[in-house]
Chains A and B, each alone.
Chain A
């Protein structure tokens, strides 16, 4: 037997689009968030220059 409550229809909810921001400058390996320190030879935080602090 189906009780009355479970037969009640749920209230209509309009479709809802949620925008989720991708941040390609962080999601692509090899970029550096620090303009001054990015790339080989220019970054004191890394062994031979390539920054590991991408998007940290």
Chain B
């Protein structure tokens, strides 16, 4: 056991445990630590608080004086905040940022399956950056997406909304494809419940495809806990008219995969993510939705939804 963990766990046992729990994508994630500081949730995550006695994912939070760089070769470099290492059956995500110095400011040690993890925070690196939210992006999202990659779901890049008359609508798209624009247009003309304008989680339940809101919003900052059944998937494309084009399943699997957040470091995770998308598209059709960014696109979707 690494020294930073041994000392932290030793301190932990003397203190009463603090807990916080959120529910995202139908998965419960519990955070525990020795003080309320260690389980502090950001404002976005507070909206997803939901206690669960038997959480799907458990994370213990600990503080250490300092985290050292790992000497082993990384298995994946995100090119941004985190680098992934392997230590036997454990995945180790080291978070570094120039703003916090050259040493890791946070380390996530997740066991295979991403059901349990230790989150270790560096006092030295974070001393001038209070308050600290241990699950701060992308830690929460990494845990959830890696758990989903066991084949139980997938997070996609999309805008999901629930219309009071016609139910759930999902619009997938890369950056700049019109997700936040779509959210704003629908908000103006239909006042739907917008689950997210950027990140939606897809799950299958009893042969039905469901979407879940996430706290990870886009430019329009829509983020709500909630879920809705889907009858179709729509892939956004800017156009001069509103037009739906049904995609063959093989093409649809590729297009949805290109707009999801898979664990690129894991061959098994990638395979299961693709399998999940294929299964989802066995139940719902997928369309490319060429759209005009105005009220007419809402009417087009509502009109086409009547034919599902």
Q: Which residues of A contact B (CB under 8 A)?
A: 18, 20-33, 38-42, 46-56
Contact = CB atoms under 8 A, between A and B. Distances in A.
Interface in B225-283: 251, 254-255, 257-258, 260-262, 264
Given A22-B258, A53-B218, A56-B219, A30 B129 contact: no
Nearest to B129: A48
A23 B175 CA distance: 9
A25 B119 CA distance: 25
Given A18-B251, A38-B80, A55 B97 contact: no
A43 to B, nearest CB: 10
Nearest to B81: A30
Contact of B198 (A21, A30, A56): A56
Q: Is the interface of A mostly helix, strand, loop or mixed?
A: loop
Given A31-B79, A56-B175, A40 B219 contact: no
Contacts of A23: 174-175, 258
Interface string B196-224: 01100000000000000000111100000
A39 B97 contact: yes
A50 B260 CA distance: 20
A5 to B, nearest CB: 23
A56 B81 contact: no
A32 B219 CA distance: 12
Contact of B180 (A26, A33, A54, A56): A56
Nearest to A21: B258
Contact of A39 (B98, B198, B217, B261): B98
B137 interface: yes
B44 interface: yes
Contact of A48 (B133, B138, B216): B133
B141 interface: yes
A41 B251 contact: no
Contacts of A31: 78-80
A49 B99 contact: yes
Q: Is the interface of B mostly helix, strand, loop or mixed?
A: loop
14 contacts: A20-B255, A22-B257, A24-B264, A26-B157, A28-B79, A30-B142, A39-B81, A40-B99, A41-B100, A47-B42, A48-B131, A55-B174, A55-B198, A56-B197
A47 to B, nearest CB: 5
Nearest to A25: B79
B176 to A, nearest CB: 9
B261 A27 contact: yes
A27 B80 contact: no
Given A20-B258, A23-B175, A26-B157, A49 B129 contact: yes
Interface string B71-105: 00000001111100000000000000111100001
A17 B137 CA distance: 37
A39 B99 contact: yes
A29 B261 contact: yes
B28 interface: no
A35 to B, nearest CB: 11
Contact of A47 (B43, B216, B258): B43
Contacts of B260: 27
